[in-house]
Amino acid sequence: MLLGPNGCGKSTLLKVLAGLLEPTEGTVLVNRPCSFVFQNPDHQVVMPTVEADVAFGLGKFNLSLDEVKARVSKALDAVGMLDYSQRPIQTLSGGQKQRVAIAGALAEACKVLLLDELTTFLDEYDQIGVIKAVKNSVAGSGEVAALWVTHRLEELKIC
């Protein structure tokens, strides 16, 4: 977890690590590909249904349809959203959208997971749920390194 006050550059660092921004000086080497989850899920969820959204990022991996379905189901189950697979995205709460964004990142099965202030727009119940979903998914994989950026000291207690 990377903890620091608002405006200190946490999100910028994460975007540089993800390859979304170029460093102004020097070189940054990261074992790519890596998955990035934005602070605001509305900047990430783009498809009409939960299932389609989680599957969207898998198009770049040239996977079979069976493999895509298996990864989507596993990722949605990991974040507690499997029963919502056919739901339209616009009917979801902020916390549910954030879980869908996390599921999309998990489905990519990258070794590095970059998480940018996931709980910013969430109520307390969804904050705890999202933190636990990520923690359980990362701990359960045994192969994923996660860097979680936050300014909320209380999130350390849950992790």
Task: Render pLDDT for 101-147 as a digit per residue (tens, 0 to 9).
Answer: 999 998 998 888 999 988 877 777 778 877 887 788 788 777 788 88
DSSP annotation of 52 = H
| CA separation, residue 61 to residues 4, 52, 70 (Å) | 34, 15, 14
* Distance separating alpha carbons of residues 10 and 2, to the nearest angstrom: 7
Poorest-confidence range of 39-43, 53-57, 154-158? 154-158
Q: Which CATH superfamily is domain 2-15+33-158 in?
A: P-loop containing nucleotide triphosphate hydrolases (3.40.50.300)
* Distance separating alpha carbons of residues 129 and 142, to the nearest angstrom: 20
pLDDT of residue 29: 86
**Percent of the chain topping pLDDT 90:** 45
Q: Which tokens hold the place of 62? A: 């040239």
pLDDT band at 97 (very low <50, low <70, confident <90, very high): very high
**Hey, where are the domains in the chain?**
2-15+33-158
pLDDT band at 158 (very low <50, low <70, confident <90, very high): low
- 69 or 137, which is more confident: 69
Angle, helices 124-141/65-78, rounded to nearest 10 degrees: 130
pLDDT band at 47 (very low <50, low <70, confident <90, very high): very high
pLDDT of residue 6: 84
Q: Summarize pLDDT for 15-35 with one digit per residue, the tens.
A: 999 989 999 999 988 877 889
Q: What are phi and psi of 13, to 5 degrees?
A: -60, -45
Average pLDDT over residues 58-83: 93
Q: Quote the mean pLDDT of the chain.
A: 87
Look at residues 158, 72, 76, 73 and name the one whose alpha carbon lies nearest to residue 119: 158
Look at residues 48, 49, 46 and name the one whose alpha carbon lies nearest to residue 84: 49
